[in-house]
Structure 1
């Protein structure tokens, strides 16, 4: 019985370590996506139907389960703009979206940040397409520095 308890405790510890590593990895990924999209300019407002440093559309935000700041009403007209122009809420939006549509876009057998970046930029149905060279270069440079 004691051996089982130790095994369960060890398993929980390993699971926690993997969860922390995964969160750190996705945080680095989100930082690099933000850099590639707008140089992570937090002063970017809304323009031509996209908002904030991640350049998020309203449909994207809706698909990401309408994250909000604090007690905002997710059904109010302001919540989309408030969230997507706030770095923390925008990160949550992108995390929700790429997790929801997670897939291997480049066919290398691994779902990684490059796939998430393509899903973010091109959408899940077009993520097998080629991304702009500048976006790709900034993303890959950032990831290699992480």
Structure 2
């Protein structure tokens, strides 16, 4: 299946513009005091693409992994349990409400990566390749080989395409 960047970019714009996030800026999610090398808008966008195709209607799969980034409840807790405005992390289904909201789930992923960033691929650098592994495998198993998985291949195709577009 050929990767279609124009479709992805269009979907990304639709997700954040038409879902009530017309004032959304990736910069809002970043805390300059916690800057992590390689953690860019392209990186988080391609993790989203690899996770669900950035499908904001994906819901929960197997009842455990929810939203565009297919995060689990433990991941959400590790990310300090972000919630929608007016919600409380201790309320039933707070995790699901956050995971199913594009802004809140992006915030959870951002917090998780910033909190647990590490050299997962053991190349002595921390970059987006480490972040995609961390997101998919978790902080304790992120060094497991994933190059053969469709998830990782989709991620790599996305990053290649965005790199080509930025040069053109």
What is the aligned partner in structure 2 of residue 32 from structure 1? 46
Offset, 1:52: 0.7
Pair 117,24 (structure 1): closer, same or farther in 2 beyond 3 Å = closer
The 8 Å contact of residues 71 and 99 in structure 2, kept in 1 or not, is answered as yes
Cα RMSD for the two superposed structures? 2.2
Offset, 1:116: 0.6
What is the aligned partner in structure 1 of residue 157 from structure 2? 141
User: Partner of 1:77: helix, strand, or coil?
Assistant: coil
Instruction: Please state if 1:129 is matched with 2:144.
Output: yes
**CA displacement 1:114-135 (0-9 Å, x = unmatched):** 1011001001111110124311
Return the alpha-carbon distance in structure 2 between the equivalents of residues 145 and 22 of structure 1: 23
Structure 2: gaps of 5 or more residues: 1-31, 163-168
Structure 1: gaps of 5 or more residues: 1-17
Give TM-score scaled by structure 2 length: 0.70
What is the aligned partner in structure 1 of residue 16 from structure 2? none
**CA displacement 1:5-48 (0-9 Å, x = unmatched):** xxxxxxxxxxxxx99x9799522111100100111110011122
**Mapping of residues 1-146 of structure 1, within 5 Å:** 25-48=39-62, 49-131=64-146, 132-146=148-162
Offset, 1:138: 1.0
Return the alpha-carbon distance in structure 2 between the equivalents of residues 113 and 24 of structure 1: 5
Aligned length: 128
More helix, by proportion: 1
Offset, 1:73: 1.1
Pair 30,57 (structure 1): closer, same or farther in 2 beyond 3 Å = same
